[in-house]
Structure 1
Amino acid sequence: MALIACPNCSSEDINGTPQFDSRLLIHCNECGTEWLRGEAQRDPGRPAVQTIDSLHAEFPTPAAVRHEIRERVAMLQAEFLLDRPEPDPEVAEYRARYQELFSRDGLSTAPADDLLHFANSATIASPGNMSGLNRAWKTQGQDKAAHLVRESIEHLLYGPESLRLEDRLTQLIDGKKGIGLPSFNKEPLLTKVLCVVEPDRWLPVLSYSAATDGKKELVKLVFDLDLPPAAKTTWTIGRLATWSNDLLRSLVGNDVPDLQQAAQFLLWAKNQPVASRS
């Protein structure tokens, strides 16, 4: 593989996935370009090659939810909205503060204390146990740790533009590129960054799969849809985290427009007895 270079960016940081027709699907880890290598030896009984676009097209859509499930979710939404809590003003202030710090102009000078507070704060959503990050922060020293965190956030949000967001997310989580602070490059923290920057798209549900509270589990428990498990190839964690977020966002719809409250609705709805949904 070392002799193969990406035709788009000339990088040799690539990997190949064998296909059923004897070709390799080559993926550039630098810019995300995918292409096929080798001569096809087709077997009509084998499935066709899958690219990121064809894979995305196979991901469940809102149309896959059964009519009766839609009806009982609508009933649950109406019940939830009767006693909907008012938006937390602390969340709005927190989000506005970090939107400024994570902007292109603000990120390079984002104070170290604010970055550490972001990682440890449960505002918007709790990213879980941060003991590993806090140890790394002390080991690296505040200045270097903050620099690496800025590097993680910059790669996630701003580039390279030729690499899709879902694949930049995978790069950081997998840690193969050596970008940023490894203990910050966890799915919950990176998703929390996206919740701050794109609050109208990203639900504050920070993990794809987590006991009964991940996106995968919520889609199953509330909408009775099965989503695929994460895999090293094709169904990568960044793709699944992004596509499942967009699916849940579409399924909740505009009846609960504030995504902070939409996440509260999903976590409440998945615990409602089936009898109350009929």
Structure 2
Amino acid sequence: MVLAMCPLCSDDEDIELVRMLDDGRRVVKHRCGYAWEHGEPPAPKKPSNSFNDLKARFPKTEDVEPKWLERAARLKAQYLATRPGFDPDVAAYWEKYQRIFSPDGLRACDPRLLKDFANSDVGAHPGNQATFNSAWNTMGDVSAGETTRRTIEYLLYGPADVLLEDRLQELLAGAKPFAMTGFKEALLTRVLCVVQPERFLSILKYTTQAGGKREIARMVFGLELPAPESVNWTLGRLLLWSNDLLHALVGEGFANQQHSAAFLWWAKDQPGGVHQ
């Protein structure tokens, strides 16, 4: 610490300590009677960007106001009383792809089954896949099938020391040379819905004009989730964290998570919510 010197007398003799401050500086007094705070204030701490700290700052179920929870509960009761459960044909289709997406299934499956999956809307509509289809047709079934297989394999069974959120982000960002062109947010999320149907809602995008997880959180629960461009949390993390949040908020009583997602899609358009 720099030697204390009286600002009035320019004298550094006979200076006594009065008290210590919480930030490490000292209040000192010169023999002339003048007292002052001595020392540099500590530099402000930068917010931590570790995975756990970032996740801890993501909105939680307890952040939803009671009036929104009450409205969602009324809509849920209305929906469950009047709307059918999940189509059994969807369950059969997804069970088929659970086998295909197993480690052994991926290695042995016909490549066309992977292309068919990308263009199917059974259980969850992934939207127009023109980019994926164009890349597939250019590459051919064998090469495109292998690239798609490796993409799915990395997402589901990649290195254990790389979190699922971060494996997803690497594929979204094209950080892996084997990542299949066009096999992005909607299709990657759809794979997760098939393989972990007890966890993943079939809402395939984080934010879209038509309504993604972010818009549904706002319109059904009055909860504002971060815009991807406003935070350095990565889209992969936002996708999974928002899914888990909506999963917790929607609660029990549905046939499965696809049934839960259908409720959320319906609920976002009901009167009395927040509009975009």
TMscore range, shorter length: 0.7 to 0.9
2:138 equivalent in structure 1:
139
Q: Which moved more, 1:57-66 or 1:249-258?
A: 249-258
TM-score between the two structures when normalised by the length of structure 2: 0.81
2:203 equivalent in structure 1:
205
Cα displacement (A) at 1:72: 1.1
In structure 2, give the amino acid aligned to 1:118: F
Q: Secondary structure at the match of 2:128?
A: coil
1:235 equivalent in structure 2:
233
1:187 aligns with 2:185: yes
Kept in 2: contact 1:187–1:206 (CA 8 A): yes
Kept in 1: contact 2:48–2:54 (CA 8 A): no
Kept in 2: contact 1:231–1:237 (CA 8 A): no
Kept in 2: contact 1:70–1:223 (CA 8 A): yes
Q: Which moved more, 1:225-234 or 1:122-131?
A: 225-234
1:5 equivalent in structure 2:
none
Structure 2 residues without counterparts, runs of 5 or longer: 1-40
Structure 1 residues without counterparts, runs of 5 or longer: 1-40
2:58 equivalent in structure 1:
59
Cα displacement (A) at 1:42: 5.8
1:43 aligns with 2:36: no
In structure 1, give the amino acid aligned to 2:197: P
Distance 1:49 1:144 in 2: 42
2:247 equivalent in structure 1:
249
Kept in 2: contact 1:170–1:238 (CA 8 A): yes
Alpha-carbon distance change, 255 to 145 in structure 1, aligned in 2, over 3 angstroms: same
1:222 equivalent in structure 2:
220
1:71 equivalent in structure 2:
70
TM-score between the two structures when normalised by the length of structure 1: 0.80
Distance 2:47 2:121 in 1: 44
Distance 1:190 1:226 in 2: 24
Deviation by residue 1:87-109 (Cα, 9 ceiling, x = unmatched): 21211111110000000121111
1:171 equivalent in structure 2:
170
Query: Would you say how many aligned residue pairs link Structure 1 and Structure 2?
Result: 233
1:117-136 → structure 2 map (5 Å cutoff):
117-136=116-135
2:27 equivalent in structure 1:
none
Distance 1:253 1:179 in 2: 38
1:96 aligns with 2:95: yes
Kept in 2: contact 1:127–1:188 (CA 8 A): yes
1:152-167 → structure 2 map (5 Å cutoff):
152-167=151-166
Counterpart selection for 1:269 from 260, 267, 270: 267
Kept in 2: contact 1:77–1:255 (CA 8 A): no
Cα displacement (A) at 1:48: 2.6
Kept in 2: contact 1:119–1:130 (CA 8 A): yes
In structure 1, give the amino acid aligned to 2:84: P
Kept in 1: contact 2:85–2:254 (CA 8 A): no
2:194 equivalent in structure 1:
196
Alpha-carbon distance change, 257 to 86 in structure 1, aligned in 2, over 3 angstroms: closer
